[in-house]
A = this chain, B = another copy of it.
Amino acid sequence: MKKYIVGVIGAGRIGLLHLNNLKKLPHVSVKAVSDPYIDQIEIESADTMMLKSHQGIMDDPEIDAVFICSPTPFHVPLIIEAAKAGKHIFCEKPISLDLETTEKCLQEVKSCGVKLQIGFNRRFDPNFAKIRKVLSEGKIGDPHVLRITSRDPSPPPIEYVKISGGIFLDMMIHDFDMARFLIGSEVKEVFAAGANRIDPQIGECGDVDTAIVTLKFENDVLGVIDNSRQAVYGYDQRVEVFGASGSIATENKLPTQTVLSTETGVITEKPLYFFLERYQDAYVQEANAFFDYLSQDVPSPVAGNDGLAALKIALAALKSLKKNQPVQV
C-alpha cells in the first residue's frame, strides 16, 4: 500500500485529535502541522515540522493530502487553495455556513479533480454504523420513524455561540447528516421548535439552546431530532429507527459496564463525557476511511454534497423556527 504524506492545518483541539490518530496509522506520515497561533505541540516527533503558515503545506509537492482543522470561516479558502494545489482534502464540518459559498467551493473541488471528505465523524461510530448495517440488511423492514436525541454535556463559551451559526448549523447539523446517512433518503421538509432554557445569554444572541425538529423524508419516513446544549449527566447520543418489522436503537456508550447497588439504588455509569471520549473510535475509523478512499476508486464516504445537504436542512430548520412554519428543504 502506498504511503501517504499528510499536512494538518490547524492545531487546536480537533487538529491535535486528528494528528494523534494519523500518527498511529501504518501507511501515513504527517510531514507538517501548521497553526498561526501555536508554536509547539505536545505530540511532536522528529518526523513532523511545526509551521506558522499553511502555505508551507500547500507548496510542498511531497504532501498528498491535507486535513483542514481550522475555524469554519477558513474552510472554504483552504479547500480551494488545496484543490488548486492538487491535494486531496479532509475538511472538518461544516464546509461553510453559507449555501452559495459552499456550492461554489464544491464546484472548484470537482474541477480540480481532487478527493474530498467532510468530517461527519459519527457515521464511523460503531453503534451508528451497526444501525446502518441492520437497516441495509432489511432486518427491521421499511423504516417508518427515526428518532435522534443529541444533547451536549454543557454549552460552548458564549463567544463561540455568537459566531457558531446557531444550534441548527453548529450542533444539529450532525444529526441532520445522521438522519440522511441512516434513512438513505433526502429530507424534503422540516418543522423546528426551539426554546431558550439553559442560559439567557444564548437567547440574547438570537439562538435557542433546546430544540425539536420534525423531518419528512422523500421516502415517507417521519423523523424527529431533539437537541439540548446541556445534559448534566453527560453527552447523550441516542438513535432509534422504527420500521415495519421491528426497531433498532442504540443506548449511550459508558466508560465501564459496572453496576453499583446500594441503599440509594442501582447505579450505572454516566455516558462518556463528550465527543472526544464518545467518538474516539469513530475519529480513527474516519481517518482510515479517508485513506481507503484515496487508495481506491470508490465514492467519498462523506462527500461534499453530504455537507451541502446537511447545510440545506439546517438552514431550512432555522427559517422554520423564525417563521413558525414548516419549510421545504
Query: Which residues of A does B touch, CB under 8 Å?
Result: 24, 26, 43, 126-127, 130-131, 134, 139-140, 142, 144-145, 147, 149, 151, 191, 193-195, 197-198, 210-212, 214, 216, 220-224, 226, 228, 230-233, 236, 242, 244-270, 324-326
Contacts and interface: CB of A to CB of B under 8 A. Distances in A.
B212 A256 contact: no
Contacts of A134: 258, 260
11 contacts: A144-B195, A191-B214, A195-B221, A212-B223, A232-B246, A233-B247, A248-B260, A253-B257, A254-B266, A261-B270, A266-B268
A325 B326 CA distance: 7
B228 A246 contact: no
- Residue of A144, A214, A258 most packed against chain B (CB within 10 A): A258
A263 B232 contact: yes
B246 A263 contact: yes
A269 to B, nearest CB: 6
A242 B232 contact: no
B222 A210 contact: yes
B193 A145 contact: no
Given A140-B260, A258-B248, A224 B195 contact: no
Given A252-B257, A256-B130, A231 B224 contact: no
A230 to B, nearest CB: 8
Copies assembled: 4
A261 B255 CA distance: 15
Contacts of A140: 260, 262
A250 B261 CA distance: 11
A125 to B, nearest CB: 9
B193 A216 contact: yes
Contacts of A260: 134, 139-140, 246-248, 265
A130 B224 CA distance: 26
A231 B247 contact: yes
Contacts of A144: 195, 197, 210, 228
Contacts of A326: 191, 324-325
A134 B145 CA distance: 29
A264 B266 contact: no
A131 B255 CA distance: 13
A262 B245 contact: yes
A67 B266 CA distance: 38
Contact of A222 (B198, B211, B220, B236): B211
A40 B126 CA distance: 32
Given A233-B262, A260-B246, A266-B267, A224 B226 contact: yes
A262 B228 contact: no
B24 A24 contact: yes
Contact of A139 (B127, B224, B255, B262): B262
Contacts of A151: 242
